Amino acid sequence: MKNAVVIGGTGGIGAGIARVLLREGWHVLATGLDEREIDAFSFAVPSVETAVLDVTDQGQVTEFFNRFETLDALVNCAGVLFRGAEYEMDVFTKVIEINLTGTMRTCLAAHELLARSKGAIVNTASMLSTFGGPLVPAYSASKGGVSQLTKALAGKWAADGIRVNAIAPGWIETEMTAALREDPERNGPILARTPMGRWGKPDEIGELVAWLLSHRAGFITGAIYPVDGGYSAM
């Protein structure tokens, strides 16, 4: 059985990915930031192993990956946004540190393990890697950075047999988007702009990630895959 780590895998899109990988026969370890989030996830998906991990803490990250003898896949889903507050410098820095620097930190920590297994990484970018988000400058910048980081690591680590790709989700049904979905003035324009006329589901993201981690995507690296119901095509 192959081993996968889903960073930020106990909530939102990460939880959807963890569920799909479990169904696909992977041994999955999902991390969360605190015990409350982990307990809620574990109640719903008891077969997934869990651990607390703060991706901004280098010591924690190093210790976490030192526990593995083998690792076949790393999925980075840890992320935050704070909307208008991101124009405050301390908040801006916090978002970059979690979303972008945290992704680099876990990729580096997993590199040796993945090189031994000829494994794969999937990072989480966003449709805001392409569009500017006026209310979320830090989130937009971090996700643009994740896209370019993914391409850089794909080029650097191809010689090690590691494939590195990213997903770029659009409007997905998660806790993070609940307020938007419940607000008719925001929800209406989003659906009108989305050709498929609905919000995506976390498990739909998971299906793509499972494919990207599999041998079926063996010649794919450095790619950024939109999963947005056609939103970015309009």
| Domains, in order of start, for the chain | 3-226 (3.40.50.720)
- Phi and psi dihedrals of 188, rounded to 5? -60, -55
56 and 8 Cβ atoms separated by less than 8 Å = no
Tell me the one-letter amino acid at 162.
I
pLDDT of residue 44: 87
Question: What's this model's pTM, rounded to 2 decimal places?
Answer: 0.96
Vertex 47 angle, CA 43 and 53, to 5°: 75
Predicted confidence (pLDDT) per residue in 132-185, tens digit: 899 999 999 999 999 999 999 999 999 999 999 999 999 999 988 888 899 999
- Point out the residues that are catalytic: 139
Within 8 A by CB and 6+ apart from 200, the residues are 169, 170, 171, 172, 173, 227, 228, 229
